[in-house]
Amino acid sequence: MSEKIENTLSRPAPQEHSFKKAAILFAGGPAPAANAVISAAAVSFLRNGIEVVGVKHGYSSLINYSKDKPLEEGSDYVMIDHPMLSRTRNRQGIMIGTARANPGKLVSCPEHLKDPERVAPLKNVYEGLCSLGVDALVSIGGDDTLKTANKFKLYQDSLPEGSKRIPVVHLPKTIDNDYRGIDFTFGYFTAVDFLAHEVRNLLADAEANQNYFLVESMGRSAGWLAYGVAIAGEASLVVSVEDIRGKFRSKEEYTDSKGESHSRDVMNMDEVVRRIVATMTTREREGKKYGVIVIAEGLAELLPYKYVEGVSRDDHGHINISAINLYELFAELIAAEYERQTSRRRSVKPVQLGYEARCVEPHAFDVMLGSQLGVGAYRALVENRLDGVMVSVEGQLQLVYVPFETLVDPETLVTVVRYIEPDSDFRKLTRFLETYVNEEDITPRASWSPCPDCDCMSFPEPFYRWRPHPWHGLEAGPNPPELVQAYIELTPFDRVKYELDKQTGYLRVDRPNRTSAFSPTLYGFIPRTFCGKRVKSLMPGAKAGDGDPLDICVISERPITNPEIILKARVVGGLPMLDNDEADDKIIGVLANDAMWGEVQEVEDLPKVLVDRLRHYFSIYKSLTPEEAAKVRIDHVYGREHALEVINAAMADYLEEFGE
């Protein structure tokens, strides 16, 4: 009996099956090697006697299917045959087109699957495929398309027993590489290589011209693409959503256009920009006055509300990043911060990269990976009789089938983004290769703190070069709202009313005193405060805040005769002044460590005559007639606790009005 010799060059044996037609659908943004995936899947079905329907432009036709609007060959779908697949594995583009139509948009929990109106688009897709005699669906797309494939499967699970079943498998696609269940998605390495080549070109340009380029890379949810481009492109620094942690992240309270209050985590723009500028100044000390900084487009989702208010969103709820111009915003902020720190200008040119990479000719690896995924779709459906799985690979392109339920949350029906882990070796690789910055070299924002060796004011180095704006360039204090910083505009010895010029930051003459009254105390304002809607809400009868920094009266034992000084004041109370229906609070404080007043804790501890003088002064200092005086009201004096509340409100109003 002769031994059977294995034919290592034979094609896998045909499989018994009941499929007559399989549909292939591509949705979402393009990716290199898309045609390798489609052609490998299609040829596998065709060689086993299964017709292949190429659904054109994603779900855009299926979602609108009805018996009165049947699908038309040529415009809505194409029958894929062998001649159509000739030499297509390396072809650019997508042979069946793509679109972002989302038939599962209205379904956000399993309960919605019972609602006929919410599942109507999924029903149209199902009936449209049935009308073509389709027996299986191959879905190719990103995580949103995976969610749609899962909802399509769940919709069929809810159909009456005996209904036709269209098994669905999904093939993961995104140049962002943020997919759970697969190590690398097809097209990722091609996109990285192409964009990195562009970055290296920009780096050569930057070196020649001694300037910087700020490159925004695609990567909506995670930083895989931006990191890869930075590594291969030899960028000086890369910043992505995974990096917005710790001091680079803050909490924002905001009110939307409907008047509803919200709280969200946002990017601390000041800290991020300072970190980028630190890379620039570090490179300068190394003799390099040029470089490329890469940021991921997904940072737009973390912008403070004032930057994204009113920006539209797509069918999947994603913000319209192209409407924000993130790269131009960052380039402008970086250039301004660099000039603030160094008193020199450095050109920072904004460039946006991404679309160029989506349809470039694919690399060999992506062609191999895409082809294996395409064949895997056939093998999952025909060889393994699977339904509701994502085709993946591991090791040396070994096929793995990942059930939808392990990738999609069963309660919310959303997928989980795969971020770059903080302690991952991939992230550490990036940090090893970029410009090393000593955290101690990062120049802080205009900040105020006690000098460690004495009780004087200590400012960071840039403020020895030029004067900070008293309102915006100083801090509210070392420990606000209890211990604040006051910028003094007026002393008890002044016969002319001085006031801050908001544009220049200098004192200007507001007016000579109109009455014989003089301020009983030092008078000025608390930096980085603003009397807006929050301050207004704390004063009954006020229609608005006065739009100025929060005023403060400071009591001291020794006479201080010079205005334009800064001092520390401990808050003890305040006067709720209503001026022309605007909230114009006057905080009362005592000079910190004052020998006479330093122990005062509450406004009631002050001599009544002093508080009465303050109240009388502000009631009449603008007025010469009873009619003018009637526009100003100070009904009472409030204590320390309410004063602290007013200061907190004014600091919050400032952040909303001017940002960090």
Q: Could you please report the per-residue DSSP string of 237-277? A: EEE-GGG--GGGEEEEEEE-TTS-EEEEEEE-HHHHHHHHH
Are 345 and 376 part of one and the same domain?
Answer: no
pLDDT tier at 123, thresholds 50, 70, 90: very high
Are 179 and 194 part of one and the same domain?
Answer: no
pLDDT tier at 476, thresholds 50, 70, 90: very high
Is 417 part of a structural domain of the chain? Answer: no
Is 418 part of a structural domain of the chain? Answer: no
Are 97 and 108 part of one and the same domain?
Answer: yes
Are 177 and 192 part of one and the same domain?
Answer: no
Are 157 and 200 part of one and the same domain?
Answer: no
Are 44 and 147 part of one and the same domain?
Answer: yes
Is 6 part of a structural domain of the chain? Answer: no
- pLDDT computed for residue 445 by the predictor: 55
Is 16 part of a structural domain of the chain? Answer: no
pLDDT tier at 451, thresholds 50, 70, 90: very low
- Indicate if the pLDDT at residue 400 is higher than 80: yes
Nearest CA among 311, 24, 354 for reference residue 188: 354
- CA 253 to each of CA 110, 210, 233, 393: distance values in angstroms, whole numbers, following the listed order: 32, 41, 38, 44
Are 181 and 238 part of one and the same domain?
Answer: no
Tokens representing 19 are: 């499929």
Which contacts (CB < 8 Å, 24+ apart) does range 148-152 have? Answer: 148/27, 148/59, 148/102, 148/103, 148/104, 149/404, 150/388, 150/404, 150/407, 150/408, 150/413, 151/103, 151/104, 151/107, 151/113, 151/122, 151/413, 152/103, 152/104, 152/122, 152/125, 152/126
CATH of the domain at 73: 3.40.50.450
Tell me which of 14-28, 157-171, 439-453 is least confident.
439-453
pLDDT tens-place string over residues 168-181: 999 999 999 999 99
Are 121 and 52 part of one and the same domain?
Answer: yes
Q: Which of 77-81, 255-259, 501-505 has the highest mean pLDDT?
A: 77-81
Number of domains within the chain = 3
Are 193 and 168 part of one and the same domain?
Answer: no
CATH of the domain at 322: 3.40.50.460
First and final C-alpha spacing in the chain: 86
Tell me which of 80-84, 320-324, 351-355, 492-496 is least confident.
320-324
- pLDDT computed for residue 6 by the predictor: 66
CATH of the domain at 615: 3.90.80.10
Q: Are 555 and 591 in contact (CB under 8 A)?
A: yes
- CA 46 to each of CA 39, 52, 170, 375, 566: distance values in angstroms, whole numbers, following the listed order: 10, 7, 19, 12, 82
pLDDT tier at 446, thresholds 50, 70, 90: very low
- pLDDT computed for residue 191 by the predictor: 96
Give the mean model confidence (pLDDT) for residues 305-313.
76
- pLDDT computed for residue 640 by the predictor: 97
Give the mean model confidence (pLDDT) for residues 578-605.
94
Structural domain boundaries enclosing 269: 188-353+423-433
Is 233 part of a structural domain of the chain? Answer: yes
Is 72 part of a structural domain of the chain? Answer: yes
Is 342 part of a structural domain of the chain? Answer: yes
- Indicate if the pLDDT at residue 464 is higher than 50: no
| pTM attached to this predicted model | 0.67
Are 564 and 470 part of one and the same domain?
Answer: yes
More confident residue, 478 or 169: 169
More confident residue, 234 or 442: 234
Give the chain's mean pLDDT: 90
- pLDDT computed for residue 537 by the predictor: 95
Tokens representing 66 are: 């009805």
- Indicate if the pLDDT at residue 246 is higher than 80: yes
> Which H or E element spans position 402?
strand 398-403
CA 400 to CA 385: how far, in whole Å?
Answer: 14
pLDDT tens-place string over residues 562-575: 889 999 999 999 99
Q: Are 413 and 157 in contact (CB under 8 A)?
A: no
Are 463 and 539 part of one and the same domain?
Answer: yes
Give the mean model confidence (pLDDT) for residues 185-205.
97
pLDDT tier at 229, thresholds 50, 70, 90: very high
Return the axis-axis angle of helices 326-342 and 269-285, rounded to nearest 10°. Answer: 60
Is 373 part of a structural domain of the chain? Answer: yes
Are 579 and 609 part of one and the same domain?
Answer: yes
Give the mean model confidence (pLDDT) for residues 445-460.
44
pLDDT tens-place string over residues 502-539: 888 888 887 777 777 789 999 999 999 999 999 999 99
CA 282 to CA 4: how far, in whole Å?
Answer: 70
Tell me which of 159-168, 299-308, 356-365, 545-554 is least confident.
299-308
